[in-house]
A and B are shown apart, each in its own frame.
Chain A
Amino acid sequence: MVTGQNRTSVPENLKKQLAISIRSIQWSYAIFWSVSASQPGVLEWGDGYYNGDIKTRKTIQASEIKADQLGLRRSEQLRELFESLSIAESSSTGTAAGSQVSRRASAAALSPEDLADTEWYYLVCMSFVFKIGEGMPGRTFANGEPIWLCNAGTADSKVFSRSLLAKSASVNTVICFPFLGGVVEIGTTEHIAEDMNVIQCVKKSFLEAPDSNATILQPISSDYHIDNVLDPQHILEDEIYAPMFGTRPFQATSPSRTTNGFDPEHDQLAEDHDSFMAEGINSQVQSWQHMDDELSNCVHQSLNSSDCVSQTFAEAGARRGSCSARKGRVQRLGHVQEQQKNVKMLSFDPRNDDVHYQSVISTIFKTSHQLILGPQFRNCDKRSSFTRWKKPSPSSCGTASIVAPSQGMLKKIIFEVPRVHQKEKLMLDSPVAGDETANHAVSEKKRREKLNERFLILRSIIPSINKSDKVSILDDTIEYLQELERRVQELESCRESTDTETRGTITVKRKKPYDAGERTSANCTNNEIGYVKRTHVGEAEPAETGLTDIRIRSFGNEVVIELRCVWREGVLLEIMDVISNLNLDSHSVQSSTGDGLLCLTVSCKHKGSKIATPGMIKEALKRLHGYVEDILA
């Protein structure tokens, strides 16, 4: 047979795969152009599947036939017809040939009159061959790139040689893409805009199709495929063999299917069943539910065709007698129903797990909506515009590369357009300030409120504040801060001198700080912070170290040194020595002693070129007193 040769380079089970893929996207036909084994450098008809409009239906049990069945059969019939016609053509003379032809012609289920236009197109395509590089399939094969043709009917014949045919068949969109070592061409009567997703879908459905061992056989009129679905034997066709719940294990099915002395009918059933299941696997929930309905229908129907049921069970390998009492049959049916549910539990094939699981999830969520089902299960059948997100490769910019202008339109809407209105307003309205001052007033008010709040807090913190106007509050705060600073200083120096335990007056002096503190704060209001201590000699002395306080002021050449220290014999002399050592000429000294403290004020001048800085003076005096401490200790 002519066809036999062609089929060698065609992948097995291609027709089924084409069938599935084309049905899933609902296009009209699919053709696989394969590299010819007979002629080099040429693509010719490999296999095809026709899914388009059909003019006549020549099957007997029309109501029970499913679309897939119809499609496969139809494609077969078309192929048959083609072959018969081509043989008729090629064989020119001879009665033997003629009779052969006539026999063939009669064997073909279809005759040319029965074909719809699109079917005729499909048929004629079978006769085409394309040199690699020519014609749409040829170019696709040569370039390795898909070609998408819209408005195929009006295409240039150089681009698409079958354009006239396509026009008469109203085939509108044709695409070719390289696949499986050849070129897959799919076409439809609708106008579909270019979308690579379609090609992806087709490719994917090829991968998902079950790889069954069924050979494609000639279709026969009557069939039992409906009941066959219930046959658990066929469920177990593939590698995965899971025992049914509560049933006896069945024999391995593949040998029995193909080698068993089944009549062709049964083989037909096998094939039908496979394809039926294939459809079920790869389509959406709806078709699963459809199958559910069908199965349940089938169950009912099979009640009527008792023979079939018993027959299938006879073949189930359990070797149950075909004579089945009614009761038995019902039991088995119930059994089958259970198994029918188990159909869902079984995995037919590892590749179909996902799709199967998807149906499980769909029934749980009672929806087949893509979003709810999650990203794992892409339903290309739904023709979603979105594709699965993938992490961009590191080479592509990962972080926000702000293309200038960023958010251009949005900013225009929000920022510019309103200003346009405002500008208009500005131009027309003379007292412009209206909105803007309102704006300012509001924010100004808020600011003032915040400030007032802070002043209140400050007032509550500072103990000495009586007045509540802001200036006084700030002044009092300044004084208080300075007082606190001084106190801290004194306390720190107090702490130093506690180590040297020579004071008998320590405790006495310790008490003083509080009085001193109070007194000084009471004096704060006089605004004579810096000079308080000087006027209250001997009373304000919290310190216990030798040197309680040094204050040095310098005006130009003059230096005024005020200090307070623990009095002892000769301390005054020592201090004066130090001062004079620093090149300071003291011209006035005021001193007073009380409570063991010496308060001293020395006014002196710098003499000579060497100027002693206040820091140096302080250091020297401190050292003096440190020295003094050592001596005393």
Chain B
Amino acid sequence: MSLKPLPSLSFEHPYPPTKLMFSPPSLRRSSGGDLLASSGDFLRLWEVNEDSSSAEPVSVLNNSKTSEFCAPLTSFDWNDVEPKRLGTCSIDTTCTIWDVERSVVETQLIAHDKEVHDIAWGEARVFASVSADGSVRIFDLRDKEHSTIIYESPQPDTPLLRLAWNKQDLRCMATILMDSNKVVILDIRSPTMPVAELERHQGSVNAIAWAPQSCKHICSGGDDAQALIWELPTMAGPNGIDPLSVYSAGSEINQLQWSASLPDWIGIAFANKMQLLRV
């Protein structure tokens, strides 16, 4: 297997993007190409056309009504079930839900007391977000007034940096805290009590990804340059949960993605390299 970069597919992005994501496979477009979204100063959509010959900007989405600048976006997530729906989160404590087909804002919510760091869709109308105020909240678009806190960091105001919702088993979510080597696993049915805390990293955890094909496996990468694959048991042993397997990279692993279409492959990024690992 070999990887080649396609120079024709590289494009300029005006600001450093905070996240990139392709549209989910459920989004069928008339033109046939793939949509790529990027967040940064604005939410931008790009189209990669079918023969992979070019990537063209499609639209720039600004959710601020008043100014020409919108609040910077820290992250976003594309809804698998309802693929025209995309949620962004921002440092102005709000989450904005977009309809990307019509390029309009569906709704905007004040989600937290502080900056929102990550957002993840669970279901067509339900999403969760984590914030610098240390809480994981679940929102339902049918009832925008209310949200449920399902976890708060034990030291108050420890920011939560990333969130991952297990698409195979919607009860489970994982989150990571700032400067912590723990991956906290939550069950949405029992708020505030984490199901498990996976504590075998020797440095802070930077990225987490659930396995796309199994509901009990999760992979995490951290500052200790290790990518660990864990299996969540139904009953945790007295000493905590040990990972199944480990991969040691050259330096701190900053990003990690588990391929949904090829579940045997995990991509990691460390230093200035990207590596594909076979599970």
Contacts and interface: CB of A to CB of B under 8 A. Distances in A.
Q: Is the A/B pair a real complex?
A: yes
A169 to B, nearest CB: 23
B98 to A, nearest CB: 18
Interface string B149-184: 000000000000110000000000000001111000
Nearest to A442: B110
A389 B242 contact: yes
A388 B245 CA distance: 4
B274 to A, nearest CB: 13
Contacts of B244: 371, 374-375, 386, 388-389
A396 B91 CA distance: 38
Given A371-B231, A443-B113, A397 B202 contact: yes
B229 A371 contact: yes
Given A384-B278, A402-B204, A421 B72 contact: yes
A419 B91 CA distance: 9
B206 A410 contact: yes
Given A383-B278, A400-B181, A409 B252 contact: yes
A70 B115 CA distance: 67
A370 B40 contact: no
A429 B71 CA distance: 13
Nearest to B180: A400
Given A382-B278, A413-B18, A407 B161 contact: yes
A386 B217 CA distance: 14
Interface string A398-415: 111111001111110110
B161 A418 contact: no
A400 B279 contact: no
B180 A386 contact: no
Contacts of A411: 161, 178
B66 interface: yes
Interface stretch (A58-66, A154-162, A306-314, A432-440): A432-440
Nearest to A423: B72
Contacts of B252: 403, 408-409
B34 interface: no
A258 interface: no
A386 B91 contact: no
B203 A410 contact: no
Given A406-B223, A422-B91, A414 B18 contact: yes
Nearest to B265: A385
B202 A400 contact: yes
Contact of B214 (A371, A396, A446): A371
Residue from A384, A406, A407 whose CB has the most chain B CB atoms within 10 Å: A407
A391 interface: yes
B245 A375 contact: yes
Interface in B182-225: 200-207, 211, 213-214, 217, 223
Nearest to B16: A417
A421 B202 contact: no
B40 A417 contact: yes
A409 B271 CA distance: 10
Contacts of B74: 413-414, 418
B232 to A, nearest CB: 12
Contacts of B69: 421, 424-425, 428-429
Nearest to B182: A400
A417 B201 contact: no
A403 B223 contact: yes
A484 interface: no
Contacts of A399: 181, 202
A250 B65 CA distance: 88
A372 interface: yes
A400 B229 CA distance: 18
Contacts of B128: none
Interface in B241-255: 242-247, 252, 254-255
B18 A434 contact: no
Contacts of B162: 410
A420 interface: yes
A402 B279 contact: no
B92 A387 contact: no
A480 to B, nearest CB: 33
B85 interface: no
Contacts of A255: none
A442 B75 CA distance: 22
B257 interface: no
Nearest to B227: A386
Contacts of A406: 179, 203-204, 223
Contacts of A383: 278
Contact of A407 (B19, B71, B179, B243): B179
Nearest to A370: B279
B244 to A, nearest CB: 5
A392 interface: yes
A400 B204 contact: yes
Contact of A385 (B110, B161, B247, B255): B247
Contacts of B243: 389
Contact of A435 (B16, B71, B75): B71
Nearest to A416: B16
Contacts of B227: 386
Given A406-B223, A418-B90, 7 more contacts: A371-B244, A389-B244, A389-B245, A411-B161, A418-B74, A438-B92, A439-B93
Closest 6 CB pairs of A and B: A418-B72, A400-B181, A386-B245, A385-B277, A421-B72, A409-B254
19 contacts: A369-B263, A370-B279, A371-B211, A371-B244, A375-B245, A385-B247, A386-B278, A389-B243, A389-B245, A400-B180, A403-B223, A406-B223, A414-B117, A417-B15, A418-B91, A420-B15, A434-B67, A435-B71, A439-B92
Interface of A: 369-372, 374-375, 382-389, 391-392, 396-403, 406-411, 413-414, 417-422, 424-425, 428-429, 434-435, 438-439, 442-443, 446
